[in-house]
Structure 1
């Protein structure tokens, strides 16, 4: 599978990385400890078996991150679904014809991950750690694709 991911501007990325460190410093699971060279804060628009037919991405797009919440076993920062962001996800979804795309516009939950696989008994503490977090504002300025088979990243 191939993803279509939006990358954050430098200031916004630094804010997310500071949140990763905040979790690590508190002894909680964090993407700060994920050492793969492709590990970078991002927003995934969708995944598909092929990106053939992907339209040009109209960037930059305004970004507002926060508050923190659990999404399944992951601790995430919600991403405000601004109209331009919703349109972009819908355009990419529509252009990548096929039943192997996921998620569709109606199921997409825009977020930036802070930690994956947070144990159930640590979830409340992880969310509380960000109770004072002001929204992080900036821009999605670039895009990339991650190939889950080869674990390679390519710029879009």
Structure 2
């Protein structure tokens, strides 16, 4: 599978990495400890079997990071689903229809991950540590794809 991911501008990326460190320093699960060299804050638009037919993505686009919440077992920072972002995700999904993109536009929940597989007893402490964050504004400035088989990234 291949992802289509949007990368944050340097200030927003630093802010997310700071949250990763805040969690780690509090002894909580965090992506700060994920050792793979491709580990980097991003917004995933979709995954697909192939990216053949994906047009160039019109970047940059505005980004607004909102509150922290749980999404399944992942601790995430919400990304405001602006019309521009929804249009971008919908266009990428339509262009890759033959490659079975997921999620469908109506099921997409835009977010930036902070921690994965958070144990149930660590959820409340993690949410408490990151409570009441002010919104963070910036831009998504670049795109990449992560190949889940080879564990490599390619710029888009």
List alignment gaps of at least 5 residues for structure 2: none
Which digits, 9 at most, give the CA deviation of each residue in 1:50-89, with x for residues without a partner? 0000011010010011200000000000000011001000
1:114-125 paired onto structure 2 within 5 Å: 114-125=114-125
Q: What's the TM-score, normalizing by structure 2?
A: 0.98
TM-score (norm 1): 0.98
* Residue 151 (structure 2) aligns with: 151
Relative to total residues, which structure has the larger helix share, 1 or 2? 2
Aligned: 1:43 with 2:43: yes
Which secondary structure does the structure 2 equivalent of 1:109 belong to? coil
Where do residues 92-107 of structure 1 align in structure 2 (5 Å cutoff)?
92-98=92-98, 100-107=100-107
Alpha-carbon RMSD across the aligned residues, in angstroms, is: 0.8
2:136 paired with 1:136? yes
Separation in 1, partners of 2:104, 2:16: 26
CA distance in 1, matches of 2:28, 2:73: 13
Q: Which runs of 4+ in 1 moved over 6 A?
A: none
> What is the count of residue pairs matched by the alignment?
156
**TM-fit CA distance, 1:130:** 1.2
Cα 1:99/1:144, change in 2 over 3 Å: closer
